[in-house]
Structure 1
Amino acid sequence: MRSFVLFFMVAGLFLSACTHEDKEVRTRNKFTGDWKFALVDSLDSNGYHHADFDDSNWRRLDLPHDWSIEGTFNENNPSGVGGGALPGGLGWYRKTFSLPECQSNKMFFIEFDGVYMNSEVWINGHYLGKRPNGYISFRYDLTPYLLFGEKENVIVVKVDNSAQPNSRWYSGSGIYRNVWLTSVNPLHLDQWGTFVTTPEVTQDAALVHIEHSIRNDFDGDTTFQLLVDIFSADGQKIGSARAADVRIAAGETKVIDLSTEVSQPELWTLENPAMHTAVSRIETDGTLIDKYETDFGIRFFHFDHEKGFFLNDQPTKILGVCMHHDLGALGAAVNRRAIERQLEIMKEMGANAIRTSHNPPAPELLELCDEMGLIVMNETFDMWAKAKSDYDYSLYWDEWHERDLRDHIRRDRNHPSVMIWSIGNEILEQWDSTGIRITKELASIVRELDKTRPITTGNNGPSPGNSLNKSGALDLVGFNYHHEDWLDFPNTFPGEPFIATETNSSLHSRGHYDMPSDSVRIWPKRWDIPFYDGNPGNSCSAYDNCRAPWGSTHTDTWNLIKNNDYMSGMFIWTGFDYLGEPTPYQWPSRSSYFGMVDLAGFPKDPYFFYKSEWSEDTVLHVFPHWNWEEGQTIDVWAYYNYSDEVELFLNGESLGTKSKPEGRFNVMWRVDYQPGTIRAVSRLEGQVVAEKEIHTAGEPAIISLSVDRQSIDADGNDLAFVSALVTDKDGNLVPDADNLIKFSLDGEATIVATDNGDQTSHASFQATQRKAFNGKCLAVIKAGRKPGSVMLKANTSGMPEAGIRIELK
């Protein structure tokens, strides 16, 4: 602890030598640049944690970093195919840094948003601790061991992901989320030191309550004032409160509650996610000691057992998707733009909710959901004390689960997007009496920290006799699958609210079609039986006619959710394909088939099923492609909205007008293939709403490039996603093109990944070339730090070079 008097003496002595940033009462800076890394074979430290260890031959890199994604796909990797068939291992990170003498009066903390897994940290040779959980955010106090002035400090992190398998999906390895260096005065708001709630909200006024957790690390007792101001999104002060002459003992953490009323509040909604900021200040005798900003939203919601979910008194169907944490070809290494792109694609489909399956997410995801207007089911655990993998979190459950749950809730409870806590997914204790005790324990911890949100679990045995439901500790009954039981829910769970925590498990490969399309393939036969009887090349049909045995088709699932008010909503498994769990196949597949969007971000056909039902955009989506064998019988489907009929033409000849049968969300024609053109026209009361043509494509002739954003930030982190389509001379996508596209780049940027959405590809994501998969592939460009423009070029044999310019601003 530090003396209060000494603080002012030291501060006064060195202020003139400090920069403006050094004079700030609190700083929080990214601590991600210029680390050194080594992947080692032995568990022996070899002195790597010593401050004077010679790391001059180690690799230099910036964080976040995932070393697994850089590895080679191999079915013999201990992670298994379920873990993505990529390697784990043991990695060490080291960073050298210095601090000016004028900051020696401050306290310093290093904050990790997530390290996968079993991380251990040293500062200047002093051991700080270990965190086994790879998804939890945590921090260490560096203050007692720091050196100032000309002396250098060395932070060392050991990451042990060598015990495999420890995950049912791709986890990644390393310091794969952001790291921060925070400095504060010894009297300060503690980590995650505020909790903002709005216990009373109407259209006319809102009561804003702010709980502050304040820590005194001075040697002596002191007295302070706490002031808080509330600001609207446009910077207007709309409320304030204060507590004067608060006494706090040395070494004490004191909780202080303040409240203020806001008139005519701008509510956080899905359409207008208005954010507010609470600025909390600690002062002593008029001197600012700490300043802490908390972003929050003003909204209210509830679940009704008869009418479903209400947000701000408006009935709202939760239209959600489950998302794993990997970012496709980028692996698990967090990038804000990559997350934002995924969320944009889901919102364009019409989704309004995300389930963080099955772990605490990166903070950036929640920040983006706050800003973009997405509801979040925030999940903590995939297993409790009973294991699902040989080396998973169950090994650490007894020692760590309470700490990890508390840290998760405290970190995320100010996000207005978070509206449901999930304390477990398909927990094996569902069928064990210990599930009752553990559910009660976990729920009590959550309620101690946050009474404003309901608690659920995703149950794949969702009966009243399930131990988790039997505990009486849950607020929402969560169904993973079992759609055949949903209609009986009001009788089975009288008076209980319903949420479909996980649905579908439908299977698709982009651009592949199995006919007849009205014959549903249930692959595999059972979850625990290996599957070898599918398609050559390990493909699944992109019609809504292939699903896992525990799941359901999109049509069957949405029929129930759409037409029953008490069904508050659903979370599709999954929004995007993800690395690992390549159901129904095993090797050589290495990523999932569940997504509405493939791993590269290209929508599959069912994406437009939901867009036609969930979004406000006009949709007429006709498929499949029109390159087949002459005389072959082809099923042509159309998803559409804002229309009452669709007419299909083949080479100008009408094949008839159709409307959706009851319980269906598409129309279908069975057509004898002839090359040429199919054209669909949707109409409402005879008036044309939309038209769509698909032409038989000729030979590959052109690489067509497009970019998601023409201009990106020259900040060293921003990304541009460039799609490369192989077309014929007339611009028609060649649906089976597999040309090898070679990318090159001129300018201050880097090609950091390529992909094509093929679940069976074993090519390195770091390669600068990629085969097209069913006509498409992707290049991901990371900006440098110099403004200007860059040119991405694409080449393949027998076609002219293509290029696209991207501006760095």
Structure 2
Amino acid sequence: MKTENKVANRKINFSNDWQFVLTEDDTLSENIVWRHLNVPHDWSIEGGFNKNNPANLGGGYLPGGLGWYKKTFQVKDASKETFIQFDGVYMNSDVWINGHHLGSRPNGYISFEYDLTPYLKYNGQDNELLVKVDNSQQPNSRWYSGSGIYRNVWLKTVNKLHISQWGTFITTPKVSDKKATVSIDININNNNSEAKEATIVTTIYNHDTELNTTSSALSINKNENKTIHQELAVENPELWSIKTPNLYTAITKILVDKKVVDTYQTSFGIRYFKFDLNKGFLLNGEQVKIKGVCLHHDLGPLGAAVNTRALERQLQIMKDMGVNGIRTAHNPPTPELLDLCDSMGFIVMDESFDMWNNTKTEFDYANNWGKWHKKDLEDFIKRDRNHPSVFIWSVGNEIQEQWNEQGVETAKELKALVRSLDTTRPITVAMNPPVNMPNTDVTTQFDASTVHLNPVAASGELDIIGYNYAHQTYPFHQQNFPNTPFIATETTSGLQTRGYYDKISDTLKRWPVRWDIPFDGGNLGNTVSAYDQVSTPWGSTHEETWKIIKKYDFLSGMYIWTGFDYIGEPTPYVWPSRSSYFGVVDLAGFPKDVYYMYQSEWTDKDVLHLFPHWNWSEGETVDVWAYYNHADEVELFVNDQSQGIRKKEGDDLHVMWRIPFEAGTLKAVSRKDGHVVLEKEIKTASEPSTLKLTADRQTLNANGNDLSFVTVDVVDDKGTIVPTAQNQLHFSVEGEGKIVGVANGNPTNHESFKGDTHKALNGKCLVIVQATNNQGNIKLTVTSEGLKSQEISIITK
């Protein structure tokens, strides 16, 4: 019997069969027409891009508003307690059951629950759950937030004697190759009208194998909340690591008179780690460089509405690049993300707040800080502290108060609260930057007299100093903070548009001139060259950053801004740009060229990546780059004529040729000790002729949620992708599926992500198809004027 089947179904997914309406005020008239849908749902992504939308460029110029959700359901067992759990509602939510107001929650990212029991109707009567979501006051975010019940909802039914919400906390205080001690704190509620005598039994499983069991006697008074402690041993533990993310399961049961009244499952990992002053990050005694990315919560064309397969796809693309770390910028993530990081092996910096007391936008969370931050932080830590992927708590990002004593006092308060709930992980704040140095040339001898530390960094309250940018100061960290380890919480801010190239690549550009000065430069069409030659002035190019992190052992690692492009914050541009240029991967999930630089550095696979495309005007001078590894040299050929051999020198991360364009075949050959490692060719494409459809998965689960991401390539009559193609594509679906998103990765495209037509960007477009609940076939057809149409079949079962 599988472990998950040993657990009573104490909660069910409550995300189907809701009704929704978007209104202009907070009153509901009888003649309102409700729309039937399932949650997670994001109404903003369904809206149109408009430069007058108050969310402005930070929110991607998409609308907010005020929405209502309702759901009717029945409850059979009046002897049980019933709770409603929300993984996240953006934002300012109010919840009612049968007309009784249960509470409000302003934070759009936090998970919370309400007790429905006192207000429920039984004996076949309907209960009405009503949720108001108010995202009308904008701007309230510096990036795209989405709007609505955009994470999952759960209905929990438990005995009056039960383990509370997030009621277990598992640590492994002693770990060796031979034995691990598993320590469990269990929080129990007795909402009966009398005291109870019970037995608490916990069993640890490794997959389906029972390893160890312990039991404890419990005496608990009526209406009492009590925590008990248990310890178990695991012999010869399989340690959780990046390469082998082994997971265990603890099943905890409450027995009264030998009858099970509650069962609770906790997934956990056994590992030990340390952030060392000299060796950086050590996991299970081995030195590991953290190679991470920051991720916002939106899923590109799907918006903020959570989908597990879409999250998994993002992480798979990152894993293939060599990424081993995720920073949840800048808020509590959806629980599914951490579950995936646990099972796939990522080092997570789990972040709670983007602001404290001081606002960054007019209507943001700082307006609710005084009343809500303690409760929100407590719930955040309790929810996430059993995840083995979580290694760092970040309690703030680029906090304005970091420059004064108010920030120091707040940092102390937040640290104390986290420590009261978890002593096993270090605490940081992502600071911009923690240190200022008048002369930050890394070749200059360090001079302590020139250093200014910001007050929060200098306070000694942080377990790790978190650097946002300031890459020139990284080599001096040990002089600046001799007693505190290093983590680059946010780095780079390189800018690229996939598939666009300036042809001459050795000009370094810092766009904009300064964050608070309007940018009037740039390229035609708000594009950015996809050579690694453009960054923000506060940041650095990808190569500049990685060279420094790579060089020093005491630099534990980095989190790149960002893994994926995201909606909003289209630095350096404003309208008509509506999404970011920061990602190593574009908004559709297509890698930009710098992806392969990281792959050549961060993975063991053989890499030879050649770019740019080979469709130019005859005689134009073009820079050709190659990222490679596992080789001594690369030779470039144009139509079989050698253009010379290049070798990386010193800390080089690519090689380059500057050559005149000649239509035909561009070919690179990498060699090791004279033997060919890899060959790569790029051919000059002729006019677009037809389409090529490639599904990432051609068999889906017929569960109403599973997704297939279909790449559409515009190709010529020989099957070569046309790298300049911008054809208008049209999509239709038959059978057991529907189109839920389309995108091309173009930050300036204003076509709906929810439409059935979209332009290609530089030869590529994405269509996302979702399965229904029925088994069968899906046929996706793609057409474009003047091109041969194509179709692809996907099976649901």
Partner SS, residue 526 of structure 2: coil
Distance 1:263 1:343 in 2: 32
CA shift, 1:495, in A, is: 2.4
Q: Which residue, out of 190, 209, 214, partners 1:241?
A: 214
Q: Tell me how far 1:469 sits from its aligned partner.
A: 1.6
Q: What is the aligned partner in structure 1 of residue 442 from structure 2?
A: none
Aligned with residue 440 of structure 1, among 389, 407, 412 = 412
Q: What residue number does 2:97 align with?
A: 123
Q: 2:176 aligns with which of 176, 181, 202?
A: 202
1:639 corresponds to: 627
2:605 matches 1:617: yes
Q: Residues 41-84 of structure 1, C-alpha deviation per residue, up to 9 Å, x if partnerless?
A: 113x246xxxxx676x2000000000000001001000001111
Structure 1 residues 382-414: Cα deviation after superposition (integer angstroms, max 9, x where no partner): 000001000000000000000000000000000
Q: How does 1:206-285 map to 2 (within 5 A)?
A: 206-233=180-207, 235-244=208-217, 246-285=218-257
Name the structure 2 match of 1:113: 87
How far apart, in 2, do the equivalents of 1:772 and 1:572 lie?
27
What's the offset of the Cα at 1:24? 8.8
Deviation at 1:484, TM superposition (A): 0.8
Q: State the distance in 1 between where 2:175 and 2:402 align.
A: 37
CA–CA distance in 2 between the matches of 1:78 and 1:748?
38
The whole-number CA distance in structure 1 between the counterparts of 2:182 and 2:31 is 53
Q: Which residue of 2 aligns with 1:89?
A: 65
% same residue: 55
How far did 1:461 drift? 2.5
Q: Which of these residues, 671, 674, 683, is aligned with residue 695 of structure 1?
A: 683
- Change beyond 3 A, Cα 1:736–1:26: closer
Q: What is the deviation of 1:181?
A: 0.2
- Whether the 8 Å contact between 1:429 and 1:467 is mirrored in structure 2 is no
2-structure distance, mates of 1:728, 1:206: 60
For 2:649, the equivalent position in structure 1 comes to 661
| CA–CA distance in structure 2, aligned partners of residues 58 and 700 of structure 1 | 45
Match of 2:753 in 1: 765
Match of 2:519 among 520, 531, 549: 531
What are the superposed Cα offsets for residues 722-779 of structure 1, whole Å, 9 maximum, x if unpaired? Answer: 0000011111111110111111111110011111000000001111111101110010
After TM superposition, the structure 1 = structure 2 runs for residues 7-406 of structure 1, keeping only pairs within 5 Å, are: 27-43=10-26, 45-46=27-28, 57-100=33-76, 103-233=77-207, 235-244=208-217, 246-406=218-378
Matches of 2:341 and 2:45, distance apart in 1: 26
TM-score of the aligned structures, taking structure 1 as reference length: 0.95
User: How far apart in 1 are the matches of 2:686 and 2:8?
Assistant: 66
- Range that drifts further, 552-561 or 392-401: 552-561
Give 2:386's aligned residue. Answer: 414
2:537 maps to which of 538, 549, 555: 549
Q: 1:273 corresponds to which letter in structure 2?
A: P
Q: Shift of the alpha carbon at 1:663? A: 1.9
8 Å CA contact 1:430, 1:461 repeated in 2: no
Q: Deviations over 1:588-617 (max 9, x none)?
A: 000000000000000000000101100121
Q: 2-side partners of 1:725 and 1:659: how far apart?
A: 33
For residue 467 of structure 1, report the CA deviation from its aligned partner.
Answer: 2.3
Q: Does 1:806 align with 2:794?
A: yes
CA contact (8 A) 1:523 1:531 kept: yes
* Residue 502 (structure 1) aligned to one of 490, 500, 509: 490
2: CA distance between counterparts of 1:511 and 1:242? Answer: 61
SS at 1:720 equivalent: strand
Instruction: Encode CA deviations 1:448-479: one digit per residue, 9 max, x unaligned.
Output: 10000000111002126322223322100000
CA contact (8 A) 1:580 1:590 kept: yes
The letter for the 2-side match of 1:371 is S
State the distance in 2 between where 1:667 and 1:469 align: 39
Does the 8 Å contact 1:25/1:288 carry over to 2? no
Q: Does the CA contact (< 8 Å) of 1:440 and 1:471 recur in 2?
A: no
**What is the CA deviation profile of residues 109-135 of structure 1, one whole-angstrom value per residue up to 9, with x for unaligned ones?**
000000000000000000000000000
Give yes or no for contact 1:26–1:185 (8 Å, CA) kept in 2. no
After superposition, the C-alpha distances for 1:147-202 in whole angstroms (9 at most, x for unaligned) are: 01221000000000000000000000000000000000000000000000000000
State the shift of 1:786 in Å. Answer: 1.1
1:436–1:470: 8 Å Cα contact kept in structure 2? no
DSSP 3-state at the match of 1:778: strand
Q: Is the 8 A contact 1:600 1:778 kept in 2?
A: yes
TM-score by length of 2: 0.96
Match of 1:776 among 757, 764, 779: 764
State the distance in 2 between where 1:739 and 1:229 align: 59
Give the Cα separation in 2 of the matches to 1:450 and 1:39: 41
Contact 2:7 2:263 in 1 (8 A): no
SS of equivalent residue, structure 1 residue 584 = coil
Q: Contact 1:301/1:313 (CA < 8 Å) preserved in 2?
A: yes
Letter in 1 for 2:52: N
Rounded Cα–Cα distance in structure 1 between residues aligned with 2:9 and 2:696: 37
Which residue in 1 is equivalent to 2:439? Answer: none
Worse overlay, 463-472 or 306-315: 463-472
> Is the Cα–Cα contact under 8 Å of residues 743 and 768 in structure 1 kept in the other structure?
yes
Write the letter of the residue equivalent to 1:227.
V
By how many angstroms is 1:645 displaced? 0.3
Bigger shift: residues 83-92 or 458-467: 458-467
After superposition, the C-alpha distances for 1:351-391 in whole angstroms (9 at most, x for unaligned) are: 00100000000000000000101110000000000010000
Partners in 2 of 1:276 and 1:54 — Cα distance? 53
Name the counterpart of 1:16: none
**Distance in 2 separating the partners of 1:238 and 1:438:** 44
Number of residue equivalences: 777
Q: Which residues in structure 2 correspond to 1:699-718 (within 5 Å)?
A: 699-718=687-706
- Contact 2:7–2:264 under 8 Å retained in 1: no
1:219 & 1:418 partners in 2: Cα distance?
39
Offset of residue 220 of structure 1? 1.2
- Is the Cα contact below 8 Å between 1:751 and 1:779 reproduced in 2? yes
- Corresponding position: 1:451 with 2:423: yes
Q: Give runs of ≥4 in structure 1 deviating > 4 Å.
A: 23-26
Question: Does structure 2 retain, via aligned residues, the 8 Å contact 1:241–1:258?
Answer: yes
* Letter paired with 2:78: S
Q: Distance in 1 between matches of 2:173 and 2:31?
A: 56
CA deviation string 1:194-241 (max 9, x = no partner) = 0000000000000000100001100111111111000002x1111221
**Structure 1 residues 343 and 711 mapped into 2: Cα distance closer, same or farther (>3 Å)?**
same
